[in-house]
Amino acid sequence: GVISAFIIYSKQFSRPINELAQLYGQIETAIAGAERIFTILDEEEEDKSGDKDFKITEGVIEFKNVNFSYVPGNKVIDDFSLKIGAGRKIALVGSTGSGKTTIVNLLMRFYDIDSGEITVDGKNIREISSDVLRNSIGIVLQDSVLFSDTLRGNMKYADSEISDEKMEEAARLSHVYKVAERLPEGYDTFLTSAGANLSQGQRQMITIGRAFLSYPKILILDEATSSVDTRTERHIQNAMVRLMKNRTSLIIAHRLSTIRDADMIVVMDKGHIIETGNHEDLLERKGRYYDLYMTQFAGNET
């Protein structure tokens, strides 16, 4: 009896201590979340001034001696210069942290550069309204963003006035029609939040379909075929070939199999360009690209 009473009293004594410890953890989490919220609230409002009538007619992109740091004194992009001609397909490759995705963020003006200049069709992007610039560039990301809406609504999310005929043509070119065929109500099937009832490859196809409907002169493909099976990757690759036709394309990929046919491959390291050339030229040089390629495809026929 004494032992039983001791155990019961011990539990009663320890329960409030345990609850207090849990509460402390919740308070720490809440403080961290609040700090992030206040950091965002304290950010200066984005400058949306600039030319609101600008239209990309050719798709020529040029980076001129661009420097950028997320943290002052720690350069992520260092004296980066690159000119991309209209309709050219350019691939950026490099190890993690080399600056590939940062270049895309700077082109889209998610961040402003520290020095140098980025131009589109000869016009400094700082002189272009950020909304106009972003709406003029098609982008296909690895992490596709879908909404709790029908497949049709997700395809038309940028412009609900797009005709069903144009939407279905984009679906044909992007293989989204194959996704619709497998859904119980076709294009009118309601997708769950974030497209959880679709595979990664199906979500990427929808993103490609959206890009077709935006009719961009400039296209960004960021890791567009990672995390999918071989058959789905083939469908996505076919869709991207159609999408990139006659468009200036900037491709970012770790999987070098997706960029062998690029007009030019730009190898980056620590924010610098260290090699440029096509696939065959870079393999012959046996430099950094050769090392990356052999790491992925050692023993395979090149």
Residues 92 and 8 in one domain: no
Asked, for residue 215, whether it belongs to a domain, the answer is yes
Q: 4: domain range?
A: 1-43
User: Could you tell me if 28 and 92 lie in one domain?
Assistant: no
Residues 122 and 269 in one domain: yes
pLDDT given for residue 36 in this prediction: 86
Counted domains in the chain: 2
Domain identity same for 8 and 76 = no
Query: Is residue 52 assigned to a domain?
Result: no
Asked whether residue 185 is assigned to any structural domain, the reply reads yes
Does residue 244 fall inside a structural domain? yes
138-157 pLDDT, tens per residue? 988 777 788 888 999 989 98
pLDDT in tens, 110-143: 999 999 999 999 999 999 999 999 989 998 877 7
Query: What pLDDT, on the 0 to 100 scale, is given for residue 228?
Result: 66
State how beta strands 123-124 and 248-252 pair. Answer: unpaired
pTM passes above 0.75:
yes
Tell whether 288 is covered by a domain: yes
Residues 251 and 128 occupy one common structural domain: yes
Q: Report the CATH number that the domain containing residue 116 is assigned in CATH.
A: 3.40.50.300
What integer pLDDT is reported at residue 203 of this predicted model?
87
CA–CA dist 115, 96 (Å, integer): 24
149 and 208 share a domain? yes
Instruction: Report yes or no on 279 lying in a domain.
Output: yes
Same domain assignment for residues 284 and 176:
yes
Say yes or no: 31 and 75 in one domain: no
Q: How far is residue 252's CA from residue 220's CA, in Å, rounded to a whole number?
A: 8
Residue 169 lies inside a defined structural domain of this protein? yes
Q: What integer pLDDT is reported at residue 214 of this predicted model?
A: 87
Summarised one tens digit per residue, pLDDT across range 47-105 is: 777 889 999 999 999 999 999 999 888 999 999 999 999 999 999 999 888 999 999 99
Same domain, 80 and 133: yes
Q: Are both 99 and 205 inside the same structural domain?
A: yes
Does some domain include residue 49?
no
- My answer on whether 27 and 171 are in the same domain is no
The reply to whether 4 and 142 lie within a common domain is: no
